[in-house]
Amino acid sequence: MNRLARFAGFGKHDEEQGDTAVLDRDVAVEHMEAEELREPIVAALRNVHDPEIPVNIYDLGLIYTIGIAPNGDVDIDMTLTAPACPVAGMMPIMVRDAVARVDGVGEVRVELVWDPPWGQENMSDEARLQLGLM
């Protein structure tokens, strides 16, 4: 055991009862259903912004699909406003990292797709209003 763990008291209770005490305890782990993860994932995606547009990528309509497996793995199909977008290499990584921080999410895979092409009709009304398009 390292010094920091000893200082924090990690394992102290276990040493008093012997090593088998750890094996005898039940550990409660909260299990979330796949669809319960959708709302926190969308909230995480709303924290990712295209640096050129002052609107989050979810309301811009850049996220096409969010697939959530029963084990918490997430598959996301997304696009960009244009194929020549300067952040094309970074945006999928930003999306993956944001979603991976959501409690209950397992592996995150982000696929950049170009079909169908993005258009302003993909944007939410809030995004259109924010950009002065309404």
For 90-103, write each residue's pLDDT tens digit: 999 999 999 999 99
The pTM (predicted TM-score) of the whole model is 0.72
Q: Extract the runs of DSSP E, i.e. beta strands, from the chain.
A: 63-68, 74-78, 108-112
- The per-residue pLDDT for range 18-71, each reduced to its tens digit, is 544 444 444 444 556 777 899 999 999 999 998 888 899 999 999 999 999 999
pLDDT, mean of residues 105-131:
93
Report the range out of 5-19, 32-46, 110-124 with the highest average pLDDT.
110-124
SS3 59: helix
Task: Specify the pLDDT at position 31.
Answer: 57
Cβ count within 10 A of residue 129: 12
Amino acid at 37: L
Q: In angstroms, rounded to a whole number, what is the distance separating the alpha carbons of residues 114 and 90?
A: 16
Task: Mean pLDDT check: name the lowest of 84-88, 120-124, 127-131.
Answer: 84-88
Gyration radius of the chain's alpha carbons: 21
Assign 3 a pLDDT band (cuts: 50, 70, 90).
very low
pLDDT, mean of residues 110-115:
95
Task: Specify the pLDDT at position 33.
Answer: 74
Alpha-carbon torsion, ordered 49, 54, 60, 66, to 10 deg = 20
Task: Specify the pLDDT at position 134.
Answer: 76
Task: Specify the pLDDT at position 84.
Answer: 87
